[in-house]
Amino acid sequence: MSAGPFDDASPPPANRRPLRAWQEAALAIYRARAGSGARDFLAVATPGAGKTTFALRVASDLLRDGVVRAITVVAPTEHLKRQWADAAAEVGISLDPAFRNTAGATSSDYTGVVLTYAQVAAHPALHRLRCERRRTLVILDEIHHAGDALSWGDAVREAFTPATRRLALTGTPFRSDVNPIPFVTYLPGPDGVTRSVADSSYGYSDALRDSVVRPVLFLAYSGEMTWRTSAGHELSARLGEPLNNEQTAAAWRTALDVRGDWIPAVLAAADTRLSQIQAGGMADAGGLVIASDHASARAYAGILRRVSGTEPVVVLSDDPSASSKIANFRESRQRWMVAVRMVSEGVDVPRLAVGVYATSVATPLFFAQAVGRFVRGRGRAETASVFLPSVPTLLALAGEMEVQRDHALDKPLREPDAFDDAALREANRRRDVPDLPERSFTALGSSAHFDRVIFDGGEFGTQAAAGSAEEEDFLGLPGLLEPDQVAVLLKQREAAQLAARRRQERTEARQDPTGRAARGAFGQTVPAARAAEADGPDAQATDNRPTHEVIAELRRELNRLVAAHHHRTGRPHGAIHGELRRTCGGPATAQATAAQLRARIDAARRWALPE
């Protein structure tokens, strides 16, 4: 017989699981804070680290000790409600994931309920009454969602102020807006900016060190993009080159257009990488493509069907069977799943090892959540590979995976030259429209070229055509590697490619009788008689392009290498440039000749080689 949600129920037995070191440490901090009278606790842990297990241990202890008599979990999506209920059942806590506001009651068999933030916002008074009538622990999963709108934050605060205890969880505490998040402590920092303060933090770099999560290799692809503006002008640009915001957005969307060559080439490369990982020891590895809209998702699935010879699982946001499809994919050995962004957060499919970021959402929060789908470790030496467009915004986010962020209340709403982060509020909601407006351009064509690999803040590889041996060097990396082994292999393969390229240039220089066909280190044409000296002092004079183009390209390459060295060592960019200048001689970069820039590039590359 059904009873009201406020009837007492005996605390369930706390089935004990071994806790990871960070969970034990966080639990000790929680007990100390609670012992001093604190009701709120914010735990920040990277996706895949085990926030759910930690929260359920806290819940079990509080139920066992009689501190609380009921549990309320608030999650971002309907799918996660059932996931929470399943995880709670494994430790003896019965939660109702089907509770509806209109019912107002649930079976006395349950110790609590699982809600969504939207559900709380729809009837905060009901959930406040539940907390007032019964001593309740409220677990706020991905608490940053409470700041999605002022109404949501107000509702969460109204509903759960009477709660006996509140445990807030998040893997991505930073937000782009300045809406305060309920029940989170904010304090001014040394720079005067007010930021959130976590009671326990466990970042990606910590989890990687402890082998809790997988190392992630980001494989970036550039290429030539052509589109027509609303005014009828046809424009072309190379993805990843310095462009203004409007041009970058158009080039990015052109790359994702199914009628071009970029998406088929990248999906084929991702499928090759998946085969390598499966053959290398992770036999059940699966792949996920995160698409922008329903039409693109279906089209990408068609390409994958041709490339892989298997039928992908397509998960659309308005599909009532979406949750069951994801659950079935988790337990199966199906090769690919294509989804419209809704699986960017909270979905637990540990066998996902290859991803394609085929959406134009550029927010740090969404990117971190998306990458979080691939980092969930199951055993030592598993790696993850994420393919993405060579867009400066994404490359920067990929290079800063290890950076721990907090939510700042008084920072600027928008960084210079950044994408508008307002799109995040729509990122996991039901919609069937592209991320960027169609009116500004029409995609005409695209090509794909392997650009680089980003790992642990460093950049590796040389630009290569899709399907080339150089690309295969990186697609064929073993699937089972320790993080330090990944870095060593990447350095070795980059060094081998650079050496092979120089040998080829010298061979072409000797064999070409015309004196015109040899290529320099950056792909520019160099007369054969001087190709062997392309790295020498007079190299600038041998390039048929305008001097300003050559120097601009050399400066970009130098800055890329300096940025990679900064990520590896933590040294400031200016200090690295200064040391290169002292080592190689010459003026500051802005006044350096092409020969001087080449010398610094060679020195920076030598620094990147393994000892």
**More reliable by pLDDT, 599 or 576:** 599
Range of the domain at 312: 218-409+443-481
Q: pLDDT value at position 4?
A: 39
The whole-chain average pLDDT of the chain stands at 78
pLDDT, tens only, 192-215: 767 778 899 887 777 767 777 788
Residue 513 CA to residue 54 CA, distance in Å, equals 70
Q: pLDDT value at position 264?
A: 94
Q: pLDDT value at position 3?
A: 39
Residue 132 is assigned to a structural domain of this protein: yes
Residue 601 is assigned to a structural domain of this protein: yes
pLDDT exceeds cutoff 60 at 526: no
Q: Where residue 393 falls among pLDDT bands split at 50, 70, 90? A: confident
Closest CA to 313 of 294, 291, 288: 288
pLDDT exceeds cutoff 90 at 91: yes
Residue 103 is assigned to a structural domain of this protein: yes
31, 43, 197 from 200: Cα distances, Å = 12, 5, 9
pLDDT exceeds cutoff 60 at 514: no
- Assign residue 183 a region (left: φ > 0; alpha: ψ between -120 and 50; beta: otherwise): left
Q: pLDDT value at position 30?
A: 97
The verdict on 191 and 272 lying in the same domain is: no
Residue 506 is assigned to a structural domain of this protein: no
What single string gives the DSSP state of each residue in 33-58? HHHTT--EEEEEE-TTS-HHHHHHHH
Structure tokens at 451: 């650009």
Q: pLDDT value at position 150?
A: 62
Residue 528 is assigned to a structural domain of this protein: no
Residue 283 CA to residue 429 CA, distance in Å, equals 33
**How much is the average pLDDT of 174-179?**
56
Structure tokens at 460: 């590796």
Residue 24 CA to residue 20 CA, distance in Å, equals 6
pTM of the model: 0.60
Residue 156 is assigned to a structural domain of this protein: yes
Structure tokens at 72: 């309320």
Q: CATH number of the domain that 67 lies in?
A: 3.40.50.300
The verdict on 159 and 37 lying in the same domain is: yes
The verdict on 244 and 189 lying in the same domain is: no
Report how many domains make up the chain.
Answer: 3
The verdict on 148 and 281 lying in the same domain is: no
**More reliable by pLDDT, 586 or 23:** 23
Residue 343 is assigned to a structural domain of this protein: yes
235-239, 272-276, 421-425, 554-558: least confidently modelled range: 421-425
Specify the residue for token string 């990248």.
Answer: 266
Contact 167, 137 (CB under 8 A): yes
240-249, 339-348, 519-528: least confidently modelled range: 519-528
pLDDT exceeds cutoff 70 at 341: no
pLDDT, tens only, 288-335: 999 988 999 999 999 999 999 999 999 887 677 777 888 899 899 999
5, 65, 67, 94, 99 from 108: Cα distances, Å = 7, 20, 19, 10, 12
Altogether, the residues listed in the chain come to a count of: 611
Residue 364 CA to residue 381 CA, distance in Å, equals 27
The verdict on 603 and 467 lying in the same domain is: no
**How much is the average pLDDT of 488-493?**
72
pLDDT, tens only, 138-165: 999 988 877 655 678 889 999 999 999 9
**How much is the average pLDDT of 18-27?**
92
Structure tokens at 138: 């409220």
pLDDT exceeds cutoff 70 at 53: yes
- Assign residue 416 a region (left: φ > 0; alpha: ψ between -120 and 50; beta: otherwise): beta
**Radius of gyration over alpha carbons of the chain, in Å?**
27
102-106, 283-287, 383-387, 568-572: least confidently modelled range: 568-572
- Boundary residue ending a domain (177, 208, 239): 208
The verdict on 257 and 189 lying in the same domain is: no
Residue 474 CA to residue 386 CA, distance in Å, equals 12
pLDDT exceeds cutoff 80 at 9: no
The verdict on 367 and 261 lying in the same domain is: yes
The verdict on 257 and 379 lying in the same domain is: yes
The verdict on 167 and 228 lying in the same domain is: no
Contact 263, 256 (CB under 8 A): yes
pLDDT exceeds cutoff 90 at 166: yes
The verdict on 140 and 226 lying in the same domain is: no
pLDDT exceeds cutoff 70 at 429: no
pLDDT exceeds cutoff 80 at 177: no
Residue 61 CA to residue 352 CA, distance in Å, equals 32
Q: pLDDT value at position 505?
A: 65
The verdict on 252 and 204 lying in the same domain is: no
- Boundary residue ending a domain (178, 208, 238): 208
CA angle at 381 for the pair 364 and 563, rounded to the nearest 5°: 40
Q: pLDDT value at position 491?
A: 73
pLDDT exceeds cutoff 80 at 503: no
pLDDT exceeds cutoff 70 at 183: yes
Contact 598, 539 (CB under 8 A): yes
Q: pLDDT value at position 342?
A: 59
**How much is the average pLDDT of 344-364?**
81
The verdict on 383 and 243 lying in the same domain is: yes
pLDDT exceeds cutoff 90 at 74: yes
pLDDT, tens only, 25-51: 999 999 999 999 999 999 998 777 889
Residue 557 is assigned to a structural domain of this protein: yes
247, 272, 391, 392, 477 from 448: Cα distances, Å = 18, 15, 13, 16, 20
Q: 331-336 contacts: CB < 8 A, separation 24 or more?
A: 333/283, 333/284, 333/286, 334/286, 334/310, 335/271, 335/274, 335/286, 335/287, 335/308, 335/310, 336/271, 336/274, 336/286, 336/287, 336/288, 336/289, 336/301, 336/304, 336/308, 336/310, 336/312
Q: How are beta strands 185-188 and 106-107 bridged, if at all? A: unpaired
What single string gives the DSSP state of each residue in 460-486? E---EETTSHHHHHHHTS-SB--HHHH
Contact 329, 337 (CB under 8 A): yes
Q: Where residue 455 falls among pLDDT bands split at 50, 70, 90? A: confident
- Boundary residue ending a domain (157, 179, 208): 208
Q: Where residue 518 falls among pLDDT bands split at 50, 70, 90? A: very low
The torsion angle over the Cα atoms of residues 533, 535, 539 and 542, rounded to 10 degrees, is 60
Contact 48, 126 (CB under 8 A): no
Q: pLDDT value at position 509?
A: 64
270-284, 318-332, 388-402, 516-530: least confidently modelled range: 516-530
124-138, 406-420, 444-458: least confidently modelled range: 406-420
**More reliable by pLDDT, 15 or 375:** 375
**More reliable by pLDDT, 159 or 579:** 159
Q: How are beta strands 458-460 and 449-455 bridged, if at all? A: antiparallel
Structure tokens at 167: 């445990």
